[in-house]
Structure 1
């Protein structure tokens, strides 16, 4: 399973009381497809998957799969510390029409070796051996930073549906090694938006990102400039991404700022679940000012 282009790591929309607000999903999906998004990654970190109940995650997956209606691939993130829960989420994802599943490793006790990680993922996916599966490698949140080249070599032997890795780590050299090891047999999707150009330079063809939800034109511009060998243009566009993301993490706590931007663009996704802290009214007002100052409304999504 090879996905080329931008895969949006979707937000899970919520009401002010923290309950799900799935009525906005169809409109959001239409906007993403209109922006040239090539796929969706649902219930991941951006989607606050770990902060939702399994029942809520099922509802979020169903809403996105229904809204997409087969036009682009939908990958559902099913990771959980309970492998029994992972299996149930995997079976549900297959039943409701997901194109692939993905999972972060169990995090509370962690995995002490590549073999342990593979055993966990094998057990988690054994009830859906025919389902395409991406391992979600995100050491900054999982605390698990194992050798992904070794993982690529061993994983297919025990995970029948294994198709690749969502690589959300900063090690460009290991990402390049993974691309080389994967060849045409497996897909390695890059997951650090602010480093997309660096990933393209070592061979990336697909990426999963949070900021693709509201700045897909910028990232598609980076890809297009790189493909036509206009490195100066690609660098200039990537710098816009770097400055935007730096500002959002420095002043707006990252993900809460990302979600707030959707509201400024007329597609409110609501507040965050604790321990993520949603922006205050004052912060939302300042966010608009800061976005205007970096020219976001000229090169990001239009309102």
Structure 2
């Protein structure tokens, strides 16, 4: 289920250079970007993760997850908290989930390397890294070098780049990053592409669909990305409307684009509605609690808790649209 890739051979004792690429472990379909459960005192709450896994698998039909990403409030967590969460998700997902990808990105490359090594030790299916966003890489070369140094800390598991220019301010073209990346990072296996730049994404698919997992990250544009040839998608709403979105993928695969457009239009109407009064991690997390009944707690400051009035509007809209029955 998790991990299991053959170890890469290394040159001497320098982990920054690889000789051998690991076997392909193609990630596809819907991937839920998981929320981090918190107590009311803002401490991480590991006790509900088993319940969370069962809900994703049994109710939403989701068997792949992306842990400690934006939705998981990773940049508000300590390194130790992120390690504990990774361990628990991997443990609880054993035998139930197909892949558990651990995001290990940080503003500090040493922290990212530490988190990467830890994820590998606990047999994560792969690791992902976002670009640093305070001191930003100014070129493809700088970004590639940064990613390579982190990937080299975990040379026996798949590595993914997490592209999120709206948050990071790093808008380098991903298709240029992918050109020749396997020579620099042999463990590289794909991208979580969270941008509305479908030109760049389409070029990535055209050139690299058969080589990399190209996972789209804008839930409201899922159908467009799938028509372009995306391998799958990573998103927060798949936590609680994954079953609905899986149905959209099914009718798309059947060639019933009229029905697929109807499904996507409903998702777009929901996201557009909540965007008008704010739909960030706090609102998403509150929606997951309302739909699933799993106590996930509040977000961590500086994010503020979603108001009860806003929660009621969100839940009512899901029911009016028929996304939830």
TM-score range, shorter chain: over 0.9
Q: CA deviation at 1:205?
A: 2.7
Task: Give the TM-score, by structure 1 length.
Answer: 0.94
1:77-226 alignment to 2 at 5 Å?
A: 77-226=103-252
Q: CA deviation at 1:285?
A: 3.2
* Runs of 4+ deviating beyond 6 Å: none
* 1:267-294 per-position Cα deviation (integer Å, ceiling 9, x unaligned): 1211111222111233333433333333
The structure richer in helix per residue is: 1
Distance change (3 Å), C-alpha of 1:202 and 1:286:
closer
Distance in 2 (CA, whole Å) between partners of 1:64 and 1:245 is 27
Aligned pair 1:30/2:57, yes or no? no
The gaps in structure 2 that reach 5 residues or longer are 1-24
Distance in 2 (CA, whole Å) between partners of 1:32 and 1:199 is 23
Q: 8 Å contact 2:104–2:127 — kept in the other structure?
A: yes
* 1:107-165 per-position Cα deviation (integer Å, ceiling 9, x unaligned): 11101000000011111222222221000001001110101111101322221211111
1:263-278 alignment to 2 at 5 Å?
A: 263-265=289-291, 266-278=293-305
Distance in 2 (CA, whole Å) between partners of 1:231 and 1:198 is 11
Distance in 1 (CA, whole Å) between partners of 2:178 and 2:263 is 32
Q: 8 Å contact 1:248–1:258 — kept in the other structure?
A: no
In structure 1, the residue matched to 2:100 is: 74
Aligned pair 1:282/2:309, yes or no? yes
Equivalent pairs, count: 298
Deviates more, 1:144-153 or 1:183-192: 183-192
Q: CA deviation at 1:256?
A: 1.3
Q: CA deviation at 1:241?
A: 0.7
Distance in 2 (CA, whole Å) between partners of 1:128 and 1:3 is 18
